[in-house]
């Protein structure tokens, strides 16, 4: 893999949870693999007043705790590449100092002007930081490229996303903006494209003639942890569906791109988003479902309900579970429902997409339900990344009794060691100027536009219930009603609470 250009990396919010848990360990993993730039320096900003040495100790700790790659004595260069800048990113005057420090770092490390800015800060700062950088000329590409990575959420709804976009484009070009959705950095998400477009056998079946419905689940066993304040204003729809799950729908549903380059892939993705059948305000109740977890004992441990979590309103109506029925009105998918759901405090952590194929036109063998013998292709995004094809086989012995069996591929068998972290891949791509796995503004806006009626109806229509569900269950039972066909339910990859935290296949 090629080494990126020499560059300075500036991480705003360098002591925040994301920087410590994901960004720094990912940079370290790139360093270990020898694919950091030949010359680089990392400047991190924070409001606290600490020394470079104190921050470098935090870097060592972050790497040790991430358990990705071990820190060794040879990593001195990595640790010493960090410098800490105490500043308030919401104050314009502090950027004079930042500009000076960037200049010094460039001279010292001999990197030239290429600079990557990573906004790992609360969304309220997404307009200020790029604007103040531009006021200092720090967006000027005369002496080398300048790129900004912006974390999600990109906007709070359609109007705020449009406004954020416009504010950014006042000083920066679209080609300089890297909107991150870490799901696109997951190997298994990229593998959806490879599975579909490097195998001749799937494509002929990948359409309304053979696919009955598609189901996408992203469940987490954790609650909101320490993020109550963020989650209160966000909820499951904005936190997971607007970005991660709609992208999964996009990768599963898109047409073959003309080539594997950023523009072609992103063009196809946005076409899917623009083909979503708009959900009318009055249809929201029948096309979506929301829930919120309540307290429960799970294996002897009491788990608090959402309303009792720290920094959460005791009368909160924020959803921690969201499910949606989506149609894509185009030739390939006309009439095929895509069911998507996500939730916190469910029985296990699993993200998977299931392609449910239609039943045979005439079922010769005894079965309990119409779809007992239906084939399923299960794309396991995480954990135990892989792919599973379910099909019917004759049970040995008298008669013709059929049992569904699994052909199971584990992605780890392909990787010679660990699977790279999503952030590792995405940061590496940005350093190299490859935006394929980053979100373009038209896709972000199309996703918000599609969800707008749901957001509005959930906020304003009291007749749409917020169902409760006990922690450790698969969300409100009512969610099964979203699935149109009477004998179909969601797939429950793991029903047994004893398997919490571990992927289990029934
Ligand atoms: C983040 C959400 O984007 O994705 C979190 O803000 C969620 O609430 C996380 O927990 C899930 O990511 P992953 O990679 O663990 O599936």
Q: How many CB atoms lie within 10 A of CB 403?
A: 12
Dist. CA 262 → ligand 1 center (Å)? 24
Closest residue to atom 14 of ligand 1, CA basis = 183
Contact 295, 320 (CB under 8 A): no
pLDDT of residue 226: 86
Give the pLDDT of residue 207: 97
Ligand 1 atom closest to residue 243's alpha carbon, by position in its atom list: 3
Confidence grade of residue 367 (pLDDT, cut at 50, 70, 90): low
Residues near ligand 1 with C-beta < 6 Å?
220, 239, 351
Half-sphere exposure of 482 (CA within 13 A, CB side): 26
Angle between helices 441-460 and 246-253 (to 10 degrees): 130
Range of weakest confidence among 254-268, 271-285, 436-450, 491-505: 491-505
Q: What is the pLDDT of residue 402?
A: 83
For ligand 1, pick from 233, 244, 293, 501 the residue to mutate: most ligand atoms within 8 Å of CB: 244
Query: Which residue has better confidence, 430 or 489?
Result: 430
> Whole-model pTM?
0.92
In the reported structure, the alpha carbon of residue 372 is separated from the centroid of ligand 1 by a whole-number distance in angstroms of 33
Atom of ligand 1 nearest to the CA of 351: 16
Probe residue for ligand 1, chosen from 150, 181, 240 as the CB with the greatest number of ligand atoms within 8 Å: 240
Distance 344 CA to ligand 1 centre (A): 10
Contact 497, 347 (CB under 8 A): yes
CA atoms in the 13 A half-sphere facing the CB of 458: 25
Q: Give the pLDDT band of residue 370 (cuts 50, 70, 90).
A: low
pLDDT at 485: 78
What gap in Å lies between CA 490 and CA 346, rounded to an integer?
Answer: 14
Both tokens of residue 424?
A: 């590792």
Tokens 């608090």 sit on residue? 304
In the predicted model, what is the mean pLDDT of the chain? 91
Backbone angles phi, psi at 425, to 5 degrees: -60, -45
- Virtual torsion, Cα 66, 70, 74, 80, nearest 10 deg: 10
Q: Does residue 420 have a pLDDT over 90?
A: no
Q: Which residue has the higher pLDDT, 499 or 460?
A: 460
Residue with token string 């990768």: 251
Determine the average pLDDT of the residues in 282-300.
Answer: 94
Residue 68 predicted with pLDDT over 70 = no
Q: Is 135 a catalytic residue?
A: no
- Asked if residue 427 lies in contact with residue 26, where contact means CB atoms within 8 angstroms, the answer is yes
Q: What is the pLDDT of residues 443-488, one digit of tens each?
A: 999 999 999 999 999 999 999 999 999 999 999 999 999 997 777 8
Examine the pLDDT at 504 and tell me if it is beyond 60.
Answer: no
Indicate the helix (H) or strand (E) that contains 118: strand 115-119
What is the rounded distance in angstroms from the CA atom of residue 493 to the CA atom of residue 64?
33
What separation in angstroms does the CA of 300 have from each of 295, 296, 497?
12, 9, 11
Instruction: Quick: pLDDT tens for 172-196.
Output: 999 999 999 999 999 889 999 999 9
In this prediction, residue 72 carries a pLDDT of: 60
Residue nearest to atom 13 of ligand 1 (CA): 183
Least confident of 75-89, 223-237, 265-279, 416-430: 416-430
**How far are the Cα atoms of 156, 157, 235 from residue 451, in angstroms, in the given order?**
11, 8, 13
Nearby residues of 227 by Cβ (< 8 Å), 6 or more positions away: none
| pLDDT band for position 7 (cuts 50, 70, 90) | very high
Residue of 123, 239, 320, 342 to test ligand 1 pocket, by largest number of atoms within 8 Å of CB: 239
Q: What domains does the chain contain, in order, with CATH numbers? A: 7-151 (3.40.50.720), 184-485 (3.30.360.10)
Taking the CA of residue 230 as reference, the ligand 1 atom at the shortest distance is 6
Q: Which ligand 1 atom is the nearest neighbour of the CA of 224?
A: 8
State the distance from the centre of ligand 1 to the C-alpha of 239, rounded, in angstroms. Answer: 8
Give the atom of ligand 1 at the shortest distance from the alpha carbon of 244. 3
Whether 288 has a pLDDT exceeding 90, the answer reads: yes
**78-136, pLDDT tens digit by residue?**
999 999 999 999 999 999 999 999 999 999 999 999 999 999 999 999 999 999 999 99
pLDDT in tens, 10-33: 999 999 989 999 999 999 999 999
For residues 271 and 69, the model is more confident at: 271
- The protein residue whose alpha carbon is closest to atom 5 in ligand 1 is 239
* pLDDT tens, position by position, 380-414: 998 888 899 998 888 899 888 888 888 988 888 88
Pairing state of beta strands 146-150 and 115-119? parallel
Residue closest via CA to ligand 1's atom 2 equals 239
d(CA 428, CA 116): 11
DSSP SS3 for 384? coil
From 28, 244, 247, 356, active-site residue: 244
Q: Which H or E run contains 422?
A: helix 422-431
Name the residue with the closest Cα to ligand 1, atom 6: 239
Alpha-carbon distances, residue 73 vs 80, 101, 460, 473 (angstroms): 12, 27, 58, 46
Residues in the chain: 506
**pLDDT for residue 393:** 86
Lowest mean pLDDT among 57-61, 124-128, 132-136, 370-374: 370-374
Out of 102-116, 220-234, 317-331, 487-501, pick the least confident: 487-501
Whose C-alpha lies nearest to ligand 1, atom 8?
239
8 Å CB contact between 21 and 53? no
Least confident of 27-31, 63-67, 147-151, 435-439: 63-67
Q: Which of 220, 318, 351 to mutate to test the pocket of ligand 1 (most atoms within 8 A of CB)?
A: 220
Ligand 1 centroid to 216 CA: how many Å? Answer: 15
Between CA 440 and CA 191 the distance in angstroms is 20
Contact 421, 413 (CB under 8 A): no
* Segments in 143-244 forming alpha helices (H): 158-169, 187-197, 228-232, 235-236
pLDDT over 60 at 505, yes or no: no
Q: For residue 381, which atom of ligand 1 is closest to its CA?
A: 16
Cα of 351 vs centre of ligand 1, distance in Å, is: 11
Q: Which atom of ligand 1 is least distant from the CA of 382?
A: 16
Q: Is 184 helix (H, G, I), strand (E, B) or coil?
A: helix
Using pLDDT thresholds of 50, 70 and 90, give the confidence band for residue 73. low
Judge whether 121 and 16 are in contact, CB under 8 Å.
yes
- CA–centroid distance, residue 188 to ligand 1 (Å): 15
């Amino acid at each position: 893999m090629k080494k990126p250009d020499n560059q300075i990396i500036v991480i705003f919010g360098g002591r925040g949870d994301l920087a410590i848990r994901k960004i720094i360990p990912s940079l370290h993993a790139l360093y270990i693999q020898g694919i950091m730039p030949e010359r680089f320096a990392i400047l991190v900003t924070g409001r606290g007043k600490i020394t470079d040495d104190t921050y470098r100790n935090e870097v060592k700790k972050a790497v040790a705790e991430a358990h990705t790659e071990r820190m060794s004595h040879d990593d001195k260069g990595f640790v010493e590449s960090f410098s800490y800048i105490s500043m308030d990113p919401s104050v314009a005057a502090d950027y004079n100092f930042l500009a000076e420090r960037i200049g010094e770092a460039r001279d010292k490390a001999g990197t030239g002007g290429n600079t990557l800015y990573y906004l790992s800060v609360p969304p309220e700062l997404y307009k200020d930081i790029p604007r103040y950088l531009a006021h200092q000329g720090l967006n000027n590409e005369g002496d080398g490229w300048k790129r900004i990575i912006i974390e999600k959420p990109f906007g709070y709804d359609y109007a705020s996303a449009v406004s954020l976009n416009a504010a950014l484009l006042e000083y920066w070009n679209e080609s300089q903006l890297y909107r991150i959705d870490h799901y696109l950095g997951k190997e298994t998400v990229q593998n959806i494209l490879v599975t579909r477009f490097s195998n001749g056998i799937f494509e002929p079946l990948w359409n309304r003639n053979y696919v009955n419905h598609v189901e996408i689940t992203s469940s987490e066993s954790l609650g909101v942890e320490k993020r109550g304040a963020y989650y209160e204003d966000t909820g499951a729809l904005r936190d997971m569906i607007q970005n991660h799950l709609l992208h999964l729908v996009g990768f599963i549903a898109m047409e073959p791109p003309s080539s594997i380059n950023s523009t072609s892939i992103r063009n196809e993705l946005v076409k899917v988003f623009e083909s979503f059948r708009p959900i009318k305000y009055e249809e929201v109740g029948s096309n979506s479902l929301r829930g919120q977890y309540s307290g429960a004992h799970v294996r002897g441990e009491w788990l608090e309900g959402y309303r009792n979590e720290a920094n959460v309103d005791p009368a909160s109506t924020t959803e921690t579970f969201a499910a949606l029925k989506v149609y894509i009105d185009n030739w390939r998918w006309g009439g095929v429902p895509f069911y998507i759901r996500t939730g916190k405090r469910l029985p296990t952590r699993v993200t998977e997409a299931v392609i449910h194929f239609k039943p045979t036109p005439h079922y010769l063998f005894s079965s309990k339900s119409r779809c007992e013998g239906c084939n399923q292709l299960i794309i396991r995004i995480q954990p135990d990344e892989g792919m599973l094809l379910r099909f019917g086989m004759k049970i040995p012995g008298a008669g013709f009794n059929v049992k569904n069996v699994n052909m199971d591929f584990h992605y780890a068998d392909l990787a010679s060691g660990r699977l790279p972290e999503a952030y590792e891949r995405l940061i590496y791509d940005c350093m190299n100027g490859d935006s394929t796995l980053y979100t373009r503004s038209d896709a972000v806006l199309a996703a918000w536009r599609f969800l707008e009626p749901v957001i509005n109806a959930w906020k304003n229509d009291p007749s749409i219930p917020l169902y409760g569900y006990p922690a450790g269950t698969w969300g409100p039972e009512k969610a099964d009603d979203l699935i149109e066909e009477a004998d179909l339910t969601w797939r429950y990859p793991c029903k047994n609470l004893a398997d919490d935290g571990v992927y289990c296949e029934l």
